[in-house]
Amino acid sequence: MAEVLSQSQIDALLNAARNGEMDLSASAEKKSEKKYRKYDFNSPRKFTKDRLKMISGIFENYTRVINSRINGLLHTTCEIEVESVEEQRYYEFSNALSEGDVLALADIELPDGEPTDDTPVLFHYSTALMLNMMDRLMGGEGDGTVHTPDGYNFTDLELRLYESIVRDMIHILGGSWENYIDLDFTLRRVETNPTLVQLIGLDETVVIVGISIRFANGSGRMSICLPGMKLTNIFARINALNQAGRGSGEDNSGEIMDILRDSSLELTAELGRTTVKLQDIYFLNVGDVLDLGHPASEPIYLYVGGKPWFDGKLGTQNNTMAVKIGETYHNQGRRDK
């Protein structure tokens, strides 16, 4: 209960304020003092905000891909968005799982065919969401009014459907990383009781991506658990690829020119141009002469890619018609003449 001041105490406070004996600025400074978030040195952050923002952008692209895939598979419309991208400890993710939850374990393969490590990427779909999708896949309407009991256990048939849906959604995740690195995601297995299996160290750093999926008559959440060490290896490979890409332009110029020198181009010599009626062409016979309107003493043009690059003089060499190069058009303006 707050202390009640007497009238004499109130008068004393007012007199002190009038005489300047009370320091009001100190209380104002206390109110305006900024509050900072405490840093936990026992569990330091491994990924910067830029890295988490990069992961968020990757999965934003992923949601657009699986949105069209789910709409085509289930013949319905849904809304999918990334709700959160957070760095946590694995036990925070593990403690949120119940005994009846199902996890999909996926492996990542790098471009050279070498797996990053044996630690899997974990995919968790809420039970109500998966039952809704299975019902739609089998021709139902995905009725969301049916209550799903806590600790619901999937049947063998439902697990096969679960695996079929998840396998496709995991496989297309690699396309969302293609702007940074080529990764292949493959389904390892489906774990029906993850609470009894130690998949990742409890204190290991992970990044949890939360994605919400909403249908017209139901909704659910998909959570993707990315192990910290696996992400660290991937980011290191991305940095190496970026550094190699920045320094490779000048070093590979000679190799590029060698490839271009061996390429083939069509070279066309134009003797002249004329216009002939279709009726005249119909009555042409062997021995007839067409006037090309080009004097024999003037040079002819040689075209590369439809542009005049050279001119020359028509003649023969070793009883074969040939053109002797006379002038080269070095600039684009002269080629357009």
Q: Is the pTM of this model over 0.75?
A: no
Reply yes or no on whether the pLDDT at 316 is more than 80. yes
163 and 94 in a common domain: yes
Same domain, 128 and 276: no
How many CB atoms sit inside 10 A of residue 208's CB?
Answer: 19
Question: Are residue 268 and residue 120 in the same domain, yes or no?
Answer: no
92 sits in which H/E element: helix 90-95
> What whole-number distance in Å separates Cα of residue 326 and Cα of residue 315?
12
- What's the rounded mean pLDDT across residues 293-306? 80
Report the DSSP pairing between strands 79-89 and 184-191: unpaired
Indicate the residue among 244, 274, 304 that finishes a domain.
244
Residue bearing the bigger pLDDT, 254 or 184: 184
Strands across the sheet containing 307-317: 267-270, 300-304, 307-317, 320-328
Which residue, of 244, 277, 310, is where some domain finishes? 244
Task: Give me the amino acid identity at 172.
Answer: I
Q: Which amino acid is at 289?
A: V
The pLDDT score that the predictor gives to residue 249 is 46
- The torsion defined by the Cα of 27, 28, 32 and 35, in degrees rounded to 10, comes to 0
> Which DSSP string do the residues of 255-270 spell out, in sequence order?
HHHHHHHT----EEEE
Residue (of 225, 215, 179) closest to 84 by Cα position: 225
The enclosing H or E element of 328 equals strand 320-328
Instruction: Provide the token pair at 67.
Output: 């949105």
209, 244, 279: which is the final residue of a domain?
244
Instruction: Give the sheet arrangement for strand 184-191, strand by strand.
Output: 79-89, 205-215, 218-227, 121-125, 103-109, 184-191
Could you give the C-alpha distances from 307 to 180, 274, 292, 332, 333, in angstroms and in order?
39, 19, 20, 9, 11
3-state secondary structure 141-167: CCCCCCCCCCCCCCCHHHHHHHHHHHH
Rounded Cα–Cα distance for residues 260 and 98 (Å): 62
With CA atoms as reference, report the closest residue to 208 among 329, 86, 101, 319. 86
Exposure string (b/e) for 129-165, b if CB count within 10 Å is 16 or more?
A: bbbbbbbbeeeeebebeeeeeeeeebeeeeeebbeeb
**Per the domain annotation, does 211 fall within a domain?**
yes
- Does residue 328 belong to any structural domain of this protein? yes
Identity at 256, one-letter amino acid code: I
Within a domain: residue 231?
yes
Say if 292 falls within a structural domain. yes
> What CATH number corresponds to the domain at position 323?
2.30.330.10
Q: How far apart are the first and last CA of the chain?
A: 97
CATH number for position 183: 3.40.1550.10
Q: In which domain, by residue range, is 156 found?
A: 49-142+149-244
Domain co-membership, 239 together with 294: no
pLDDT in tens, 63-93: 999 988 888 888 888 899 999 999 988 888 8
Tally of domains within the chain: 2
Instruction: Please give the pLDDT value at position 334.
Output: 47
pLDDT tier at 61, thresholds 50, 70, 90: very high
Examine the pLDDT at 323 and tell me if it is beyond 50.
yes
| pLDDT one-digit tens code per residue, 100-146 | 788 999 998 877 666 567 788 999 998 888 888 888 888 887 775 56
How far apart (Å, rounded) are the C-alpha atoms in residues 296 and 300? 9
Query: How many of the other CB atoms lie within 10 Å of CB of 301?
Result: 21
φ and ψ at residue 63, rounded to 5 degrees:
-65, -35
Closest listed residue to residue 109, CA positions, set 118, 97, 98 = 118
Q: In terms of domains, do 114 and 176 share one?
A: yes
pLDDT for res 3: 56
Q: Same structural domain for residues 157 and 274?
A: no
Residues 117 and 206 in one domain: yes
Q: Is the pLDDT of residue 335 over 80?
A: no
Query: Mean pLDDT over residues 304-324, rounded?
Result: 82
